[in-house]
Amino acid sequence: MSQYGFLPFNACSQSFIPSIAALVVYRNRCRHDIVRSVLEACREEAGITEICRKAGLPVDRGRRIVDQLLRYGLLVELQEGKRRRYRITPRGYEWLGIYESLEEVLPPV
């Protein structure tokens, strides 16, 4: 064991395969990037938990964003019994197109 509490690579009996999570470089996302992630998650009908999982958000924050996108008309709520599902609207697709074209013109900082 090393001072950090894990085995060095050569001490492992299996070959070292890094997990995907270790390869992901996290950065702070602006609000527009988060909205894009939520809209893309709603291309197919999805519940709030699935949307948040796909967008990489905690459920409480995801609910607030979904509520705001409903008010703006970018998402529509579909009621299936007690379940609420969400889907992107044509206006939401328009927003995605505009945002993607802006990303082409303005490189990320």
What are the tens digits of pLDDT across the range 49-85?
999 999 999 999 999 999 999 999 999 999 989 999 9
The answer to whether the beta carbons of residues 73 and 59 sit under 8 Å apart is no
Under DSSP, is residue 105 helix (H, G, I), strand (E, B) or coil? helix
Q: What is the rounded distance in angstroms from the CA atom of residue 47 to the CA atom of residue 96?
A: 20
* CA dihedral sign of residues 99, 104, 106, 108: positive
pLDDT at 2: 45
In the predicted model, what is the mean pLDDT of residues 5-32?
56
pLDDT at 9: 47
Domain 29-105 matching CATH 2.60.120.10: the answer reads no
Domain map (residue ranges) of the chain: 29-105
Q: What is the rounded distance in angstroms from the CA atom of residue 69 to the CA atom of residue 76?
A: 9
